[in-house]
Amino acid sequence: MKLSIVIVNYNVKYFLKQCLASVMQSDRRLADGESLELEVWVVDNDSVDGSQEMVRSEFGEVHLIENHENVGFAKANNQALEQLTAQEAVDGELILLLNPDTLVESDTLVKCADYMRQHPDVGGCCVKMVDGQGRYLKESKRGFPTPEAAFFKMMGLTRLFPHSRRVAAYYMGHLPDDEINEIEIMPGAFLMFSREVYDKIGGLDESYFMYGEDIDFSWRIHMAGYKNVYLPTTHIIHYKGESTKKGSMNYVYTFYNAMSIFVKRYFTGGGARLYSGLLRVAIWLRATLAWTGRIARRLALPVADFLAAYGGFVALKGLWARYWADNINYYPAEYTRIIIPIYILVLMCCSWLSGGYDKPLRKGRIVKGMLLIGMVLLLAFYSLLDEQQRYSRMLLLSGSLWTLLSTLAIRQVLGWLKVPGYSKKEGTRTLVVGSQEECRRVEQLYASLGMPTGKVATFSDTDLHRLAERVRIDRIEEVVFCASDVDLQSIIEYMTQNHTAGVEYKIAPAEGDFIIGSNSIMSPDDAYLDDLDTILTPSGQRAKRLFDIATSLLALLLSPILVWFQKDKRRFFSDCWRVLTGRLTWVGYTGKAGVFLPSAIVPNADAALASRLMLRYMRHRRAGTDVAILLRYWNCL
């Protein structure tokens, strides 16, 4: 019996590598003793992370299709389906669409193949999916997306009534998660169907770029007279979320478009109009909630800082007026309403420019922004005012100091409340499960990544029967399974039975230099990128952008003079405008086009030197470097 597996990949090399490894290590012996012949196809949608090279070098038996653009999920799957079905058909041949961010148990493929062979009326089959923490994914089984079901799903009401036959109909929440049942819609992350079904209904509908194609395909299987079955007797891990975050507006918009295509195809008349209307209401409500929530989250801390600082300023003003001027009304009303808010906003803006609002928290940035920049600016501005407008230098200094202290106090409270980004990052209590040799390898990998590990312990009892107790007693926060010593089936079984809050599960593939967790990958590549902190951090990006804006405005202001010295006068205005609008930067780096490159500081630099200069610039970029390059080539802008 032959099983053809199609995996569409887009920039998830490490997930793909582990997925392929789990497939290749799967059992091949069917219930009747016959062997399951596997044929694997990977369609890469123009990845830039080295996925193609990895497949060619480590999985030579895999058929690789390399696209030169991202053609979408449906079209990429069809490319492989067309090629594999062009081959001579094999009796009982099966096809599996599999996501790259999944891991299959050793018996998953044979259990599904056996079930479909024993039930010829079944056209499609899916399995129970859990996430990287072992939690059940309700996407494992779904119902037909009626207008009502889709509306409840888009509005998030299914989370409030997860087992309601009506409200949770989108996920068929009334059906037990551990019971074999006929369902209507199967997930595209793991969708097995027969060659006979494909020959009858064809491939995936390419009108869908992402989302919706599995719904359409499952419904066509159902309409062709076959059953779609949910088979929870085996599991897969689906890390999910690498392409699009479910809470993002991009996801909501893409999902809405997919549902709109589905409506036009399967609903007519009043049903289609009702469905479209409900979806439009849902999308606008979701967009409004997402926008207001995002704005509220961003403004909450600055508003708290402002109110705390303003209250302190006003209190200090009252004390100073009473005990120094002996006149509670010594300061005019506009001082309280206008001058004090201006003082506070200047201090807060300087803190922001210095990275005081970036995460993780660096208190030194706040001190630098408010004291070394903000207070100096305020004192300089104060000295330029007319004598009648100088209310009190002492109040300015004491109020600025209060603003600093209140800002730091708010951060301290956030740290006590364990708010992410504000609490002190301590070493994670990590437990590595595997042989002593593999545990040492994982420890060395952590050390090479520079990861904070407050305590790294090992657990060599690979049958896992005492692991939960060890995790509880040692208050372990992170469990890393060594895949070469602990089989995937045992890992998934343990995770599904012990998804404890506060404990993160990760897998270290055999002989791999990376560790995969839920929506996260740790590899030497990530450590290398983290090292480039100057240019890639929010504060580094902000400083570079502000420099570009200031210098491009200055160049345009002086353009009546500068333009006469330029070698290409037309390009001068074009470059200034593109830098001002953010389409270019004066000195480019990897990922951002520039008018010049860091190697411009050394004329006639060869490729090797240019590469080293680029690395150095990204790691240690300073405004002086940009200034030096602009001054050297000021007549070549």
pLDDT in tens, 59-92: 999 999 999 988 888 899 999 999 988 877 766 6
Q: List pLDDT tens digits, range 307-324.
A: 999 999 999 988 888 877
pLDDT higher for 231 or 219?
Answer: 231
CA 110 to chain centre: 33
pLDDT of the residue at 612: 77
Please report, rounded to a whole number, the percentage of residues in the chain having pLDDT higher than 90.
32
Confidence (pTM): 0.67
How far is residue 384 from each of residues 44, 121, 374, 380, measured CA to CA in Å?
63, 87, 16, 7
**Which stretches within 161-248 are classed as H helix?**
195-201, 213-223
Whether the ω angle into residue 360 lies within 30 degrees of 0, i.e. cis, is yes
In the three-class reduction of DSSP (H, G, I as helix; E, B as strand; rest coil), residue 514 is classed as coil
pLDDT of the residue at 462: 64
pLDDT above 50: residue 529 = no
How far is residue 68 from each of residues 65, 75, 204, 209, measured CA to CA in Å?
10, 13, 20, 16
pLDDT above 50: residue 440 = yes
pLDDT of the residue at 255: 65
Highest averaged pLDDT of the listed ranges 23-32, 510-519, 613-622: 23-32
CA distance 390 to 136: 65
Q: What is the dihedral of CA 238, 244, 245, 249, to 10 degrees?
A: -150
pLDDT of the residue at 259: 67
pLDDT of the residue at 615: 73
Q: List pLDDT tens digits, range 551-574.
A: 999 988 988 888 888 888 888 888
CA distance 163 to 172: 8
Q: With cut-offs at 50, 70 and 90, classify the pLDDT of residue 112.
A: very high
pLDDT higher for 106 or 589?
Answer: 106
Q: List pLDDT tens digits, range 455-481.
A: 566 777 666 778 888 888 888 888 888
Q: List pLDDT tens digits, range 185-218.
A: 999 899 999 999 999 999 888 777 666 788 889 9
